[in-house]
Structure 1
Amino acid sequence: MNKHTFFIILISIILLPFWDGNAQEKITHPKNEFRGVWIATVANIDWPKINTDSVTKQKADFIEILETYKKMNYNAVIVQIRSSGEAFYPTELAPWSRYLTGKEGKAPTPFYDPLEWMITEAHARGFEFHAWLNPYRATMDIKTENLSPKHDFNRHRNWMIKYGQSGKEKFYYDPGLPEVQSHLTKVVEEVVQNYDIDAIHFDDYFYPYREVGQTFNDKSSFAKYGNGLKLEEWRRANVDTLVKRVSHTIKDCKPWVQFGISPFGVWRNKSVDPKGSDTESGQTNYDDLYADPMTWMEYKWIDYLVPQLYWSMEHPKASYSKLLKWWAENSKNTAIYIGNGTYKINNDSDKRWNNPMEIPNQIDITRTYKNVQGNAFFSAKWFLNKHQNVTKIIMENQYKYPALPYAVPNLKQIVIDSPAISTFENTTTKSIFSFKYPLNSKVRYIMVYRAKRTSKIDINDPSQIIDKITLTQKCEDLITVTILTPKENEHSSYAFTYVDFYGNESTPTLVN
């Protein structure tokens, strides 16, 4: 077929019926589903593999993680960029991480910005990039001689509280100090302003987990700022204040950037509170970590929650199945994804984890709850050339086809632009489309769908997804998309959609 300008054989744009992201259908292969993986940098759990690796090896290892999870049809990476009072990016607010260069405060050589590079590589492969920060953990030990002069321990010693069993102590930021809350909010604001991230992500470390015989000594800040509250109420109020401030800061800066938190899996036990879950957890969010996800959801301070349900489905004290049901029934105003513990496969006293179907079954049961929209897995290294029997099951069944994350409830909107084709060229081996650059929508990706020659195009069928192409910064008025067309797809139908920065998908442009 000859090249045509401003002409194609057939283009039709159709309106999709309204789709409620909170109402996931019970289907074998959902078109929309969050599939995330945590990439932990603290103590070099996942990346870099060794803190003295060369920049070349760091990059190769990170790309290996991305390629592995792209092949498994995941669509989001949650990358730890601040595990304590250090950073994986250049900033005056913290020193370079020792887990990146072997020495705190030492920049990479040759110099590069790991965060900017990771975001670019993740987006190029169709992943959302969630920047994961630990706000309150200041150090991983008390060997202060190893800290950079730029570390907050040396700059603001009065912010620090030592806590933990002998030999395992750490320093924590005092959550009760207004200046600490302002500083941590500023850390988040800088990341949101300077980087093209999709989300800011906090995990379960708020006030530290309770340890026998240990007291978190915040008496001074409580005496000064307690304002007549009980200690427990005041601590929860401190966490709420930070979550609220961070939320407003993110949205004021870039309203499309999500704010997500992955709390410990148990809010409260039913034995303590009738609204709690049927569990016997030794610690809980509300009573021990002073974190109250129910309040965060109530006031819409967060876009998503990923409760960490790192137990087997039939665990006697904290059952995955029971906790999944509890979170599904108690969620409101926010997306809910479930955190799954792949690190426990063949590696736990609970022998249920020796069953290769444990994680696949957890995915399946998660899908039966309409207002739970996916899963995230801790952590990346456990499916990286490991547990191949489990990954094979998932790739052939649960994650056989790609999926798009839903736009979270607070970010749903109509994408005004649809792909407008300017030119179309077809050869025996490829089809080349060019599109006018969207004028009215901030677009992240263009989705490409293809139906076999005898099938009808259906963008709700994930088996028809063939590509998710990142739109780079606008440098010209046209976007060119090249699609290889093997002979069996020579007379196929195509559909193209835009996905905006909020995660919303446009109406499709159909091409026969």
Structure 2
Amino acid sequence: MPKKLFTVFLLIIASSCGIFKPNIPQPKKEFRGVWIATVVNIDWPKNGMDSVEKQKEDYLRILDFYKNLNYNAVIVQVRAAGDAFYNSDYAPWSRFLTGKEGENTKWEDDPLSWMIEQAHIRGLEFHAWLNPYRATFDLNTDILSPNHDYNMNPDWMVKYGTKYYYNPGLPQVQEKLTSIIKELTLTYEIDGIHFDDYFYPYTIKDEVFNDSITFYNCSQPQQSLADWRRSNVDTLIKKSYTAIKDIKPWVSFGVSPFGVWKNKSTDPRGSETQAGQTTYENLYADPLLWMEKGWLDYIAPQIYWSLDLPVASHKTIANWWAKNSENSYVYIGNGAYKVRNNSDQAWEKKKELPNQFKLARQTPEISGNILFSAKSLMDKNQDVVSYLGRKYYKWPALTPEVKNGYEEHLENVNIIGKEQSPDFVTLTLDHKNAIQYVLVYKSSKKNTSELKSKKLLDKIFVPTGSNQVQIPKLVLKRNDFAITFLDRYGRESQPTIIHLNQIPGYGRKR
């Protein structure tokens, strides 16, 4: 066989055997998040009685693990059950952080400010995750602080199953929860506010959620109980969104509803599923309305089933949300906790979770993924972790821009000073916008489209009020490099080429 034909033959064989399988193109902007659950210390802290040093060490371990996997956001539960992981005027300290509810005798610095700062230093967005309506995790009310709403406002509480819940129909509850949103947004440099799927509680057989008196007093004429309950949740969503955007329009507001809106058997608009409960009919939440009204920046349906599970296929539900979303980004919530830990044998396969990422990446309407929960991949299933990193998250990615709200134009950022030391290149900036990051790329032409994520060398946080940034020389691969600026909305400026040999201090020895 001629040498040329033999070479072609080898290429065909290699291709057919999968040796040269092309990777799925990676978008430059893609939300890559992970939920860090604090309720009953699921992910962090490992124990509320741990020392501050131990709690900090464990938190940083989570951040570093996901930073090294090229994730770009953490969603941290800061309100688990009528409590707070920060010094709040509206809720007591969480026992899951301090060891005893309502007391903090060990954290000298503000734990939430520290958590946010550490995330930002690593280039990770910080979304504050709240469970709005769950008041207690169980019926052991003796451990609650005197300042907990169970004790301060017992008429707000509804006992259901083994927990107490805030009554969503009470105007006082709506105002209290809105005040909490305002406090968080005003006080902390968060990038997002996030609600999970717990609105009205999941239905328990033979149990009654006793809000009949509130319904009688607060509902509109001819309004059914179900419609009234949904309107209460609608009101909280609208008030939360408005409060956030009035204070800091660049802060995202997102919700992660239960994966099935409605089954098609009860509504022709529903999905081809047979879910035992639905977000619309059981949790009284209507995220389709919230997207239609523009009250959400993103939605992250929790699709914790395997790709081809007959009663609720991940594939079917992901495609349903993709086709039924508007005005909001869609990020898929993935049940990483099920990997090799579930009766559904599909989760035993190494590629079950990666193939869910593949589906999201191939669906144009889907802009990212969020894993539940943080500990799921940290100490086990290393083959899955490695495959995800190699195949899908090989390069860094930026989070999608915040499009809703009252956006301003990104003005030019001028570099008014440059200086070198043995370890850093220091840039002094003249800017009016709130620049959050400086992005450092391998040298490229002045064309943003050519600054691909695989050329990104570093993402350097610029603290509020600072006009200087230090670029470690260790990350620079050559004498010329490019930088861009990223504002709080996630919008990137045009690149500027920096020439090291033109900066004072060039060639300075250690």
Same fold by TM-score, threshold 0.5 exceeded? yes
Match of 2:169 in 1: 176
Query: Is contact 1:421-1:433 (8 Å) kept?
Result: no
1:403 corresponds in structure 2 to: 397
1:445 aligns with 2:437: yes
Q: Is the 8 A contact 1:418 1:507 kept in 2?
A: no
Aligned to 1:233: 227
Q: CA deviation at 1:424?
A: 5.3
**2:478 equivalent in structure 1:** 490
State the one-letter code of the partner of 1:422: G
In the TM superposition, 1:293-442 aligns within 5 A as: 293-410=287-404, 414-418=409-413, 420=415, 422-423=417-418, 425=420, 432-439=425-432, 441-442=433-434
1:207-222 equivalences under 5 Å are: 207-222=200-215
Q: Tell me, which stretches of 5 or more residues in structure 2 are unaligned?
A: 1-22, 500-510
Match of 1:53 in 2: 50
Give the Cα–Cα distance (whole angstroms) in 2 for the partners of residues 473 and 504 of structure 1: 17
Shift of 1:39: 0.2
SS at match of 1:201: strand
Report the AA paired with residue 511 of structure 1. I
Deviation of the 1:348 alpha carbon: 0.7
- Equivalent-residue separation in structure 1 for 2:137 and 2:96 (angstroms): 11
Contact 1:328 1:372 in 2 (8 A): yes
Q: Which residue of 2 aligns with 1:98?
A: 95
Partner of 1:461: 452
- CA–CA separation in structure 2 for the residues paired with 1:138 and 1:246: 18
Shift of residue 361 of structure 1? 0.8
TM-score, normalised to structure 2, is: 0.89
Instruction: Tell whether 2:482 aligns with 1:501.
Output: no
Residue 408 of structure 1 and its aligned partner are, at CA, apart by: 3.2
Secondary structure of the structure 2 residue equivalent to 1:510: strand
* In 2: Cα distance, 1:284 partner to 1:201 partner: 20
2:250 equivalent to 1:262 = no
3-state SS, counterpart of residue 473 of structure 2: strand
Q: What is the CA-CA distance between 1:433 and the residue it aligns to? A: 4.6
CA offset digits 1:455-495 (Å, max 9, x no partner): x99654211111000001335x5433233267xx334x421
Q: What is the identity percentage for the equivalent residue pairs of Structure 1 and Structure 2?
A: 48
Instruction: Deviation per CA, 1:110-142: give whole Å up to 9, x if none.
Output: 433211110010001001000000000000111
Q: Note the alpha carbon deviations across 1:2-32, whole angstroms, 9 max, x for none.
A: xxxxxxxxxxxxxxxxxxxxxxxx9522211
Shifted more, 502-511 versus 349-358: the winner is 502-511
Tell which has more relative contact order, 1 or 2 (C-alpha 8 A, sep 6+).
1
How far apart are the structure 1 equivalents of 2:456 and 2:59? Answer: 25
Structure 1 unpaired stretches of 5+:
1-25
Q: Which amino acid aligns with 2:459?
A: K
How many aligned positions are there? 475
User: Counterpart in 2 of 1:292?
Assistant: 286
Kept in 1: contact 2:460–2:469 (CA 8 A): no
| Conservation of the 8 A alpha-carbon contact between 1:432 and 1:481 | yes
User: CA 1:328/1:53 → structure 2, altered by over 3 Å: closer, same or farther?
Assistant: same
1:505 aligned partner, one-letter code: E
CA deviations 1:434-461 (Å, max 9, x no partner) are 242322x111111111149x9x996542
Q: Give 3-state SS (helix, strand or coil) of 1:286's partner.
A: coil
| Residues in 2 aligned to 1:418 and 1:401: alpha-carbon distance in whole angstroms | 26
- Cα gap change, 1:108/1:370 in structure 2, threshold over 3 Å: closer, same or farther? farther
Q: Is the 8 A contact 2:35 2:370 kept in 1?
A: yes
Is the contact between residue 419 and residue 509 of structure 1 (CA under 8 Å) also seen in structure 2?
Answer: no
> Partners of 1:234 and 1:448 in 2: how far apart?
52
Instruction: Check if 1:156 corresponds to 2:153.
Output: yes
**CA 1:102–1:417 in structure 2 vs 1: closer, same or farther (change >3 Å)?**
same
Q: Is the 8 Å Cα contact of residues 100 and 108 (structure 1) preserved in structure 2? A: no
Cross-structure match for 2:199:
206
2:79 to 73, 78, 82: 82
| Alpha-carbon distance between aligned partners in 2 of 1:316 and 1:436, rounded to the nearest angstrom | 56
Query: Partners of 2:475 and 2:189 in 1: how far apart?
Result: 33
User: Are 1:105 and 1:150, in contact at CA under 8 Å, matched by a contact in 2?
Assistant: yes
RMSD of aligned residue pairs (Cα, Å): 2.0
Q: Which residue of 1 aligns with 2:239?
A: 245
